[in-house]
Structure 1
Amino acid sequence: MASSYSLTEDLSTLRQYYPYELEEPYTPTYNIGIYMPGMVITADQPKLIRKMHFSMVPFFFKERKSAMCNARSSQILVNPLFKQLVTANKRCLILADGFYIWQRFGAEKYPFRFHLKDRQVFAMAGLWSAWIDPETKERYESFCIVTTPANPLVREIRKSMPVILTPETEKLWLSKETSEEELLASCSAYPEEQMIRFLVSRDIADRSINDASLIKPLNYVPA
């Protein structure tokens, strides 16, 4: 399960890759976890960087707490909810510069950070939905990460990984003209030789901490 990621680059670097208008002010975030805000680009507004909450609350859910953070790529055209979102073009790019996966060593878990060698900022495939609070009528927009079977580098820790898009597949993911076959083909695992993995501080579990110490590579060997 992909349950946390980051977007830590400064605004000028972000705009080198995605030179679009921002709906809200941008703040680098070193650990974006469930229910936290993340930056996305939606299919219906491809020139606008928007802020939504991570972990999707489908529009028909009765409670906001019943959220989902991932959608398996093998299910996006099978599961009725995901297929409805895909068909309605509720697809998005989730902007990131790394993601985290925890691995258990004995009685403890330790986090690994993954990022790309050739891109400082990249996009993960996502689906999104707008939920209306039945009591307050407040609109709550949220997203989930589409996952795919992991490449060998990630598979040593987890069987699945986020779908990381290339500039070419980003366009396919957002386009209304993309066929179902092309969508599924765009959900392949990112090449392991183009990724880096290293251990980072367990402090990423503490949401009160948001600084560069969280992504500093650590050389310790878990017992």
Structure 2
Amino acid sequence: MCGRYTLLKDELEILEEFDIDEPIDSYQPSYNIAPGQNVLAIIHDGKKKRAGYLRWGLVPSWAKDEKIGYKMINARSETAHEKPSFKKLMSQKRCLIVADSFYEWKKVDGEKQPKRIQVKDRNIFTFAGLWDKWVQDDKVLFTCTILTKEANTFIRNIHHRMPVILPKEKENEWISPIKFHPEQAHEFIHSIEMEELTAYNVGSYVNAAINNDEMCIQPIT
């Protein structure tokens, strides 16, 4: 799964990396991005790419209660093209969720050791995401979920699941305004070759989502 990550790059670097023309409204770096928070995402509106914030935890357009979002921070890429909550989104509401590392917890002697995981040869990358718009009475929410897959050899030593990280050359294709058949989106995700990752131990300080400063990423031995 993916339940916590970071985005520490400055706004200009993000705009240049993803060829975004307009500034990001209220952009703030974060050492400890958690479910329920607003996360930086990129979509294509049919004319151009746009960067803005979505709430992490998908609330499908048909949901009766927005609290469902707390159960839908991740979507299994193996079955998302078949599930009612995600099938339509796989076809036409795909997004990039911008990150520069993510956290995972490895069980060691009955305790969980947090690790910070990065893409070895890139200092900024994106998770494959899905988004939706929910409206009830006068309330409107734009929310998202991160697609996950079975862990590769590197991550398997830490956790059995991992987020889908898009190769740089696949990002624009993932958010193309052209509609995919859900099965096409499924095949696209599972054709991706995984990049090399690195990881190091961090302290339990990161466990509390309220903690959001440099101590979250401080290496420990």
Aligned mate of 2:73, from 69, 72, 76: 69
Q: Which region of structure 1 is more displaced relative to structure 2, 153-162 or 105-114? A: 105-114
* CA offset digits 1:155-212 (Å, max 9, x no partner): 11222211111122112211215565653343246535x2111111211122332212
Change (3 A) 1:172 1:24: same
Letter in 2 for 1:91: R
- TM-score normalised to the size of structure 2? 0.88
Aligned mate of 2:123, from 116, 120, 124: 120
In 2: Cα distance, 1:208 partner to 1:80 partner: 33
In 2: Cα distance, 1:6 partner to 1:200 partner: 13
Change (3 A) 1:209 1:187: same
In 2: Cα distance, 1:10 partner to 1:23 partner: 11
Provide runs of 4+ in structure 1 moved above 6 Å.
Answer: none
- Residue 160 in 1 paired to residue 161 in 2? yes
The corresponding residue for 1:101 is 104
- Residue 12 in 1 paired to residue 12 in 2? yes
Letter in 1 for 2:146: I
In 2: Cα distance, 1:80 partner to 1:214 partner: 37
Aligned mate of 1:187, from 174, 186, 189: 189
Q: Percent identity?
A: 33
Which runs of no fewer than 5 residues in structure 1 stay unpaired?
none
Aligned mate of 1:84, from 82, 88, 96: 88
RMSD of Structure 2 on Structure 1 (CA)? 2.0
In 2: Cα distance, 1:181 partner to 1:143 partner: 20
Q: Kindly state the Cα deviation for residue 23 of structure 1 after the two structures are TM-superposed.
A: 4.3
Question: Aligned with 2:78: secondary structure?
Answer: helix
- Count of residues in Structure 1 that have an aligned counterpart in Structure 2: 215
Change (3 A) 1:179 1:85: closer
